[in-house]
Amino acid sequence: MNERDSEHMIAELQEKENYELTSDSTEADLILINTCSVRERPVHKLFSELGAFNKKKKENAKIGVCGCTASHLGKEIIKRAPYVDFVLGARNVSKITEVLHKPKAVEIDIDYDESQFAFSEFRGSQHKAYINISIGCDKSCTFCIVPKTRGDEISIPTDLILKECERATQAGVQEIFLLGQNVNNYGRRFSGEHEKVNFTELLRRISAIEKVKRIRFTSPHPFHMDDEFIDEFASNPKICKSMHMPLQSGSSEILKMMKRGYSKEWFLERAAKLRLMVPNVSISTDIIVAFPGESDKDFEETLDVMRQVRFEQVYSFKYSPRPLTEAAEMSNVVESELGSERLAYLQGLQNSITDEITAGYVGEIFEVMFEETREGGYIAGRSDNNVMIKVQADESLLGTFAKVKVTKNGRMAQIGEILA
Ligand code: SAH
């Protein structure tokens, strides 16, 4: 989502202010840092990076801090780094060309409604288009700062999304990647009068656009994975067969404390249904270890879910207390060292699961869309079910599809050869 916000800002600056991109910050007239505040570490990194950019920047070059950390620290950023020219929150992206001309502006209103703002066009990739379908987040997960930095959830009007899909595919894009904090909660609230369109219906309408070849989305919420949604996912050939199912914890007790809205049993049942209906599906997840009150037994429940579901990919984090969240007030904290031990154990378990899964890929044939070049004369892309595969081939194949047979396996990318 941050990447897409950056693309929006780049587009507005190119179109309305004649800026061009540079990869050399010492040449830049404007340096924007787009921040995340989901965990604490990136927030610390912000101030060291700001200092480094400030030292090396061209005279009179402006520095702006954008994104979630901008939303929650606001003017504090200018207090700590007085050379910062403006602060622009994650909910105020469309105001980039305004704050540029307002010295020391701090625009961080989380009630600002930019769900109908028509951004200018810029895409980092020619083949894949990120498209936002909602702003904000209506959940109240007790560990998460996002609702406090991105505000309430508002769906972007369906016709705007469809138009964006049309434009992107006219320009050569094959894959549409839908973005939102809870994509499958789409349609819950629009800012004006709007026909009732839920996520499943949105998927149907996007897939009706002829030039759309593939549809991906992130993140869906396990709570909203109803049968209608899973049926559409299983039966619509344009929807890529890879599902992100953020588990967070395998303990129903901890899930309650996190206010996730589902239990261990619900999660397992949904995952089993997916595996049954879509045999080649790949399921990825997010897990937090050492949430306040997490006992050895709770942690064991998480490992149990991992062993049962056998996720293709796991993004795992040690719980990080965040300001403005309920969990930050909880007193039963898990010691940091124990948290690190649990994280290491969990990652070890997942590595062995991943190794077993990827070993099974050798000899399999996948349809890959090539997206990028890799060192050593390789080009790489993903299969429909999200297996990253690289082959020795010419760049001219970027943006095309091919059947690829995997010849050698690795944890991060498989090596394969194109079938004639
Ligand atoms: N709405 C998105 C969440 C985006 S944040 C979703 O449901 O996927 C991405 C991930 O960061 C979360 O899924 C969670 O695993 C992790 N995360 C969020 N807050 C955290 C915290 N306080 N400490 C550690 N990890 C956290």
The residue among 107, 128, 146 that closes a domain is 107
Q: Single out the residue of 9, 257, 261 nearest to residue 122, CA to CA.
A: 9
Instruction: Provide the pairing of β-strand 128-132 with 175-179.
Output: parallel
The CATH number of residue 40's host domain is 3.40.50.12160
φ, ψ of residue 223 in degrees (nearest 5): -60, -35
304/403 Cα distance (integer angstroms): 35
Residue type, 7: E
Pocket test for ligand 1, best of 38, 224, 313 (most atoms within 8 A of CB): 38
- Looking at the domain assignment, is residue 210 inside a domain? no
- Looking at the domain assignment, is residue 96 inside a domain? yes
Say how many Å lie between the CA of residue 48 and the centre of ligand 1.
Answer: 23
The CATH number of residue 371's host domain is 2.40.50.140
- Looking at the domain assignment, is residue 37 inside a domain? yes
86/31 Cα distance (integer angstroms): 11
- Looking at the predicted structure, is the pLDDT value of residue 41 above 90? no
For ligand 1, atom 3: residue with the closest CA: 181
- The mean pLDDT of 52-60, rounded to a whole number, is 96
The residue among 80, 107, 134 that closes a domain is 107
Ligand 1 neighbour 303 (Cβ under 6 A):
no
369/127 Cα distance (integer angstroms): 9
- Residue in the block written with tokens 């991943």: 354
For ligand 1, atom 1: residue with the closest CA: 181
- pLDDT-based confidence at 42, cuts 50/70/90? confident
| Number of the ligand 1 atom closest to the C-alpha atom of 145 | 19
| Number of the ligand 1 atom closest to the C-alpha atom of 218 | 8
- Residue in the block written with tokens 């954008």: 66
Say how many Å lie between the CA of residue 153 and the centre of ligand 1.
Answer: 16
- Looking at the domain assignment, is residue 174 inside a domain? no
- Looking at the domain assignment, is residue 16 inside a domain? yes
Measure Cα distances from 132 to 45, 102, 143, 173 in Å.
27, 27, 24, 16
Contacts 24+ apart (CB under 8 A), 371-380: 371/125, 371/127, 371/128, 371/398, 371/399, 372/398, 373/398, 374/413, 380/413
- Looking at the predicted structure, is the pLDDT value of residue 232 above 90? yes
- pLDDT-based confidence at 412, cuts 50/70/90? confident
- pLDDT-based confidence at 352, cuts 50/70/90? very high
Angle at 128 between CA 124 and CA 245, to 5 degrees: 110
What pLDDT score was predicted for residue 117?
Answer: 95
- The mean pLDDT of 148-162, rounded to a whole number, is 97
26/195 Cα distance (integer angstroms): 49
The fraction of the chain above a pLDDT of 70, given in percent, is 100
Query: What is the per-residue DSSP string for 287-298?
Result: EEES-TT--HHH
| Number of the ligand 1 atom closest to the C-alpha atom of 322 | 22
- Looking at the domain assignment, is residue 413 inside a domain? yes
Contact 221, 139 (CB under 8 A): yes
303/324 Cα distance (integer angstroms): 29
Q: What is the mean pLDDT of the chain?
A: 96
Q: Single out the residue of 28, 43, 33, 26 nearest to residue 9, CA to CA.
A: 33
The residue among 107, 130, 147 that closes a domain is 107
- The alpha helices in 63-145, defined as continuous H runs, are 68-73, 76-80, 96-99
Pocket test for ligand 1, best of 183, 288, 326, 340 (most atoms within 8 A of CB): 288
Ligand 1 neighbour 216 (Cβ under 6 A):
no
Ligand 1 neighbour 319 (Cβ under 6 A):
yes
What pLDDT score was predicted for residue 394?
Answer: 94
For ligand 1, atom 24: residue with the closest CA: 319
User: What does the block give as tokens for 25?
Assistant: 């910050």
**Based on the structure, what is the number of domains in the chain?**
2
Ligand 1 neighbour 320 (Cβ under 6 A):
yes
Ligand 1 neighbour 15 (Cβ under 6 A):
no
- Looking at the domain assignment, is residue 163 inside a domain? no
Ligand 1 neighbour 142 (Cβ under 6 A):
no
- pLDDT-based confidence at 84, cuts 50/70/90? very high
- Looking at the domain assignment, is residue 399 inside a domain? yes
- Residue in the block written with tokens 């070993």: 359
For ligand 1, atom 8: residue with the closest CA: 219
- Residue in the block written with tokens 């948290």: 339
Cβ contacts of residue 154 below 8 Å, gap of 6+?
Answer: 113, 115, 134, 135, 136, 189, 190, 191
Give me the count of residues in the chain: 420
Domain that holds residue 371: 365-418
